[in-house]
Amino acid sequence: MRTNLTTLCYIEREDCYLMLHRIKKEHDMNRDKWIGVGGHVEEGESPEECLLREVYEETGLTLTSWRARGIVTFVSDTWETEYMFLYTAEGFSGELRDCAEGTLEWVEKKNVDKLPVWEGDRIFFRLLEEGRGFFDLKLRYEGDLLAEAVLDGQRLR
């Protein structure tokens, strides 16, 4: 059974993030966007177990070192509320393989802002780059537009 709990991981290597350009699935709310790797937590699975499974399924990599960075709540007028556990990872083993959901590419962190990403993702990229401790971020969308962002109880917009 699928839940509305998800994981997302940005694997880091040499000042780059492993990014997934979502171009292969026909009906994909992330179509044409660049995101990290992850997916839905399955029944009986912890977020950490989901993280490890999804990263392996989508990339062929086995994580050996990772860190929980925050919880992001997505609220929308067009899709169900989603609760995402955000991770970064620096240690991994294995060989990168093709992904059924899109194209995987190492992107320099300084260039991520130039890619088509969700507007709210830009907020948590900034938090990651600032080295902020564990955070709670709520992003409310109206259609594809970010209408509200609340970080640790403080409204950003």
Closest to 38 (Cα-Cα) out of 18, 23, 15, 24: 18
Average pLDDT, the chain: 91
Close Cβ partners of 57 (under 8 Å, ≥ 6 residues apart): 39
Task: Give pTM, 2 decimals.
Answer: 0.91
50-79 tens-digit pLDDT: 999 999 999 999 999 999 999 999 999 988
- The torsion region of residue 111 among left (phi > 0), alpha (psi -120 to 50) and beta comes to alpha
Is pLDDT above 60 for 28? Answer: no
